Amino acid sequence: MKRLMILLVGLMACLEGWAGSIEYGPWVTESREDRVTICWLSEKPGMAYVELADGTKVWETFAGRRIFRRLHSVKIEGLESGTELCYRVCGQELVDDTNARNPRFGDIYEGSWHRVRTFDPSDATCRFSVFNDIHMQVGEYSALAAQVDSAATDFLFLNGDIVSAGNYLADTLVRYELEPLGTLPAGLPVLFARGNHEGRGNNPQLLADVFPNADPAPFYYTFRHGPIAFIVFDAGETSKSRSILYSGDAVYEDYLDEQIRWARKAMQEPLFSSAPMKVCMLHVPMIDHPDKSDYLLQRWLNVHFVPMLDDAGVDLMISADLHEFMYCTPGTMNNPFPILVNDDLRRLDCVYESGQFVITMYNASGKEEFSTVLEVE
């Protein structure tokens, strides 16, 4: 009996240790030349921090307090471009908070060590992979991700509609947006553009917790890595009956006007304007398709965004949404620069090197289905 009690106590101790462990992660997002944000999902709510190789601990805080939750994000700021960080995520489960002034915590958990490198505008190359329109088809998504050569990739870009609606809780969003990527996000930044389906439902704001970004807003921003400056937009909803679809609560027109005002200034910033190549990323293609009378949003974007992007010297747009592949050479869709529409359940591998930008599209079986080279002046 005594031996049995010892075994039970040991088992309970093991279970208590596991209770505060990592459920998924980490993943790196909001990567810039001077900062990264590291996220993970713990099994139980608790305090959390990122530990760096030199012993520095950066705690997750809000308004002067360490906070207790499951979905964690810690921003590491004040870095130099091209800095390689060795980090691990750690935390401590909140066991009892009935005494607000003296909560009780469990054991500290410590994750594995990982490395990530901040973006560097002085790099000679830029290499990234793009996923879109997965719509929660985990098998194909996992197969596409498994083909990525992490040693030859600088970041991953999720270009919308990885899930089919924004009415899921955070752990479900993590399960479908990130888990099929396997362990890649621990060392490769994951950047994100919201798709029209991800704007639907009753919890679309939760994606901002999964992909935290505050510069200037969760779903539109600029960044630069190597010779390429990127501008990312959130196009909103594609439906003709947007007010009906959202029971009258959609205000995308104001939201798009807000992005136009921001973009005019953002593309004048030296870090963007000085880049040898400029790429626009968004879910909905800004095309004026002569055979598609229902492409109302696409045409609106084409009229109101494309001239501004052309004036700023944008060289290429990478988009999605249509569930078919299109490569629109300049002039075919009222577009002054090429617009690539990636097919669903496909991956784009993109490489800039020595004035050439190579795009290759693969299916889930690893078969190459398209490739082209852009000469960048």
- Name the one residue in this structure whose structure tokens are 């196009």: 235
Residue 331: closest CA among 323, 339, 342: 339
- Domains and their CATH numbers in the chain: 20-117 (2.60.40.10), 126-375 (3.60.21.10)
- Residue-level pLDDT at 15: 33
Kindly give the parts of the chain with pLDDT less than 70. 1-20, 239-250, 293-294
Query: CB pairs under 8 A, 24+ apart, for 250-258?
Result: 256/300, 256/301, 256/304
Strand 61-62 and strand 65-66: the pairing is: antiparallel
- HSE toward the beta carbon, residue 86, CA cutoff 13 A: 4
Residue 172: closest CA among 210, 146, 199, 208: 210
User: Residue length, the chain?
Assistant: 377
d(CA 31, CA 246): 32
Whether residue 185 contacts residue 156, with contact meaning beta carbons closer than 8 Å, is answered with yes
- 91-128 confidence digits (pLDDT tens): 998 888 777 788 888 889 999 999 999 999 999 999 99
- Residue-level pLDDT at 291: 78
Whether residue 48 contacts residue 23, with contact meaning beta carbons closer than 8 Å, is answered with no
DSSP secondary-structure letter at 182? T
Measured CA to CA in angstroms, residue 122 lies from 33, 77, 276, 337 at distances of 10, 19, 11, 25
Strand 228-232 and strand 277-281: the pairing is: parallel
d(CA 220, CA 310): 18
pTM here is: 0.91
Per DSSP, the three-state class of 240 is coil
Whether residue 160 contacts residue 199, with contact meaning beta carbons closer than 8 Å, is answered with no
- Residue-level pLDDT at 145: 97
d(CA 326, CA 323): 10
